[in-house]
Amino acid sequence: MRVVIAEDAAMMREGLVRLLTDRGFEVCAAVADADALRSAIAATVPDVAIIDIRMPPTHTDEGLRAAIDIRRDHPDVGVLVFSQYVETRYATRLLADRPTGVGYLLKDRVADVAEFVDALTRVASGGTALDPEVVGHLMRAVQDTVGVASLTPREREVLSLMAEGRSNAGIAAALVITAGVVEKHVANIFAKLGLPSSDGDNRRVLAVLRHVRGG
């Protein structure tokens, strides 16, 4: 799997390069700013890009704006935002129209390398990987929406886990309930949100994310 890394902190950037190389990834480029990221993506067209939010020259939102451009100009390239910050406004734009092959993880909440690699692989394969805190921010941003407001606390928990990309079995394990109970919650969620259900977990997640982003 081919990866481009955009991270302005040299130690973090080199650490990611070594971590991924040791696990069989091909790091096509490791850059420190958004312009270099755009050039690297155009030159190499990797499977996935790992992108920090705050990079030179202003250290505000360069990375997220570059991520949005990449998803528009290179739709086959997965984008995993890896940052210390939650930027709700840009997160909703990142998920707009085509919330596939996208992830948003928080650096200080990733404690397991295997989970990070799994999330990266999932994004590169067209799936989603969202930190629960990011999901929470997105849901709070639309908490007054009629459909979301009508969900029970348990249905909100299931919705959050769905948005993280978890399967019914994964949700059941996380909440310590049976798969049958999860299926009932999922059916109720779709009914309340007015969204058609699907046998495909990925399609289900995409529909939920469209609603969560306020679309």
pLDDT tens digits along 173-204? 999 999 999 999 888 887 777 665 554 555 56
DSSP the chain: -EEEEE-SSHHHHHHHHHHHHHTT-EEEEEESSHHHHHHHHHHH--SEEEE-S--TTTTSSHHHHHHHHHHHH-TTSEEEEEES---HHHHHHHHSS---SEEEEEGGG---HHHHHHHHHHHHTT-EEE-HHHHHHHHHHTTTSHHHHTS-HHHHHHHHHHHTT--HHHHHHHHT--HHHHHHHHHHHHHHHT----S-HHHHHHHHHHHHTT-
pLDDT tens digits along 99-157? 689 999 998 877 788 989 999 999 999 888 888 788 777 666 655 455 667 788 898 88
Place 92 in a pLDDT band, splitting at 50, 70 and 90: confident
pLDDT of residue 59: 85
Place 215 in a pLDDT band, splitting at 50, 70 and 90: very low
Place 10 in a pLDDT band, splitting at 50, 70 and 90: very high
pLDDT of residue 186: 84
pTM for the structure as a whole: 0.71
pLDDT tens digits along 47-73? 999 999 988 888 888 998 899 999 999
pLDDT of residue 60: 84
pLDDT of residue 140: 65
CATH architecture label of 2-131: 3-Layer(aba) Sandwich (3.40)
81-90, 93-102, 162-171: the lowest-pLDDT one: 93-102
Class (C level, CATH) for 151-214: mainly alpha
Q: What are the sequence ranges of the domains in the chain? A: 2-131, 151-214
Task: Tell whether the model's pLDDT for residue 211 goes beyond 60.
Answer: no
